[in-house]
Structure 1
Amino acid sequence: MGKSKKKTPACTWCCCKSQKRGKQISHRKFRRKEATYIITGKYELLPIRQWEIVEQWDLGGDGKHYCGHYPDEEWYIKLMRK
């Protein structure tokens, strides 16, 4: 994997590198809420999407954005590494 590179120059908009931890927490909350509604028999209250439980903006970052194509820049070379 020493020579593998990303195809699209995209990075997170905010300070964190990934939203993995926030997604783990939101999926856990979703599954827990779903299980409690099934056990109690409140099928009409079952959530359809995870965003009904957790707000998207509470995750680690604010999504990704396109950085442009600058092959000679040092930050671009570092960004494109996997």
Structure 2
Amino acid sequence: MSRSRKRMPGSTWCCCKSQKKGKQASSRKFRRKAHVLLHQGNDHLLPFKSFEVMRSWDLGGDGKAFFGFHPDEEWYAKLMRK
């Protein structure tokens, strides 16, 4: 695995490596809200997408960005490591 590299030079903004924890919390909140609304009989209020329950800014990072191909740069080699 020492030679494994990413295929696309992209990463998240801010300090986190992934948004896994935020996505898990969002899904949990979405399922809970749907469960409660179904038992209350409010079928017309059910959310369709997870962003109706939790904002994307509440996740771990601010999304992904593409940094372009710069194979001669030092930061590019560090970015492409897994």
TM-score between the two structures when normalised by the length of structure 1: 0.90
Deviation, 1:52, is 0.5
- Correspondence 1:3-82 to 2 at 5 A: 3-82=3-82
Q: Note the residue ranges of structure 2 that are not aligned, 5 or more in a row.
A: none
Distance 1:70 1:37 in 2: 51
Q: Distance in 2 between matches of 1:56 and 1:16?
A: 14
CA RMSD, Structure 1 to Structure 2 (Å): 1.2
**Which consecutive aligned stretches of 4+ in structure 1 deviate over 3 angstroms post-superposition?**
none
The Cα offsets for residues 4-25 of structure 1, whole Å up to 9 and x where unpaired, read as: 2111100111121111111111
Separation of aligned partners in 1, 2:64 and 2:21: 16
CA displacement at 1:2 relative to structure 2: 3.0
Unmatched runs of 5 consecutive residues or more in structure 1:
none
Q: What is the one-letter code of the residue matched to 1:34?
A: A
